[in-house]
Amino acid sequence: MEVRASAKFQRFSPRKARLVTDLITGKSAEEAISMLENLPKGAALPIGRVVRSAVANAENNFNMTLENLYVKRAIADEGPRMKRIWMRGRGRRDTKLRRTSHITVVVDERKA
């Protein structure tokens, strides 16, 4: 049975988050958590929180154990973009786009 957890409006770009989510897809939950704790990427810690939340949902709501869980899907979708003004020379201005991400992690039980 699939169990999911999500975090929305995270302040990093989905392109950078997909580098991390691609690493953990298909790994066991324990291995994914340990990888994310030691990964030198900015998106690794928030994605690790989502993985731990999905594992906690599986343990508390469906009586699954951590040893049998694996990351079935990890998705980083694009959230809304925040537009900020960036002042340039000669009185001009540009817009900076601050991208946000919606992170979804789905864990499932391995068939023995």
Residues 76-106 pLDDT 10s: 999 999 999 999 999 999 999 999 999 999 9
CA distance 63 to 47: 23
Residue 50: per-residue pLDDT = 98
User: Based on the number of CB atoms within 10 Å of its own CB, is 43 exposed (0-12), middle (13-18) or buried (19 or more)?
Assistant: buried
- CB-CB contact of 5 with 57 (8 Å): yes
pLDDT digits (tens, 9 = 90+) for 11-58: 999 999 999 999 999 999 999 999 999 999 999 999 999 999 999 999
* Inter-residue contact 101 to 12 (CB < 8 Å): yes
Higher-confidence residue: 111 or 9? 9
Mean pLDDT of the chain, nearest integer: 97
pTM of this structure: 0.92
Q: Which domains does the chain have, with CATH numbers?
A: 3-109 (3.90.470.10)
Whether residue 111 has pLDDT greater than 90: no
